[in-house]
C-alpha cells in the first residue's frame, strides 16, 4: 500500500481482471453469431442467478436462519 492509498493490491488485481475481461468481450462479441451471443447471455444469467443463490445461502448460514 502507498501512504494515503486505502486500496489493497488485491483490489488492483481485481480491477485489472475486470478491465481485461471487458476488453476481451468487446473484441470477441462482434465475432459471435447471434445464436452464440444468445448462449453467452443465457450462461451469464444462469451464473448470476447461481451467484445470487449462493450469497443468499451464505447469508442464511451466517445468520443461522437456514
**pLDDT reported for residue 5:** 63
**pLDDT reported for residue 1:** 46
Q: What are phi and psi of 20, to 5 degrees?
A: -65, -45
At 13-65, the pLDDT tens digits run 989 999 998 999 899 999 999 999 999 999 989 888 888 888 888 888 888 87
**pLDDT reported for residue 30:** 95
The whole-model pTM stands at 0.56
**pLDDT reported for residue 52:** 85
Cα–Cα distance between 8 and 10 in angstroms, integer? 5
Amino acid at each position: 500500500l502507498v501512504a494515503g492509498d486505502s486500496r489493497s493490491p488485491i483490489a488492483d488485481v481485481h480491477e485489472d481482471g475486470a478491465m481485461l475481461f471487458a476488453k476481451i468481450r468487446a473484441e470477441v462479441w462482434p465475432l459471435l453469431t447471434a445464436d452464440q451471443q444468445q448462449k453467452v447471455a443465457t450462461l451469464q444469467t444462469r451464473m448470476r442467478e447461481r451467484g445470487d443463490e449462493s450469497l443468499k445461502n451464505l447469508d442464511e448460514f451466517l445468520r443461522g436462519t437456514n
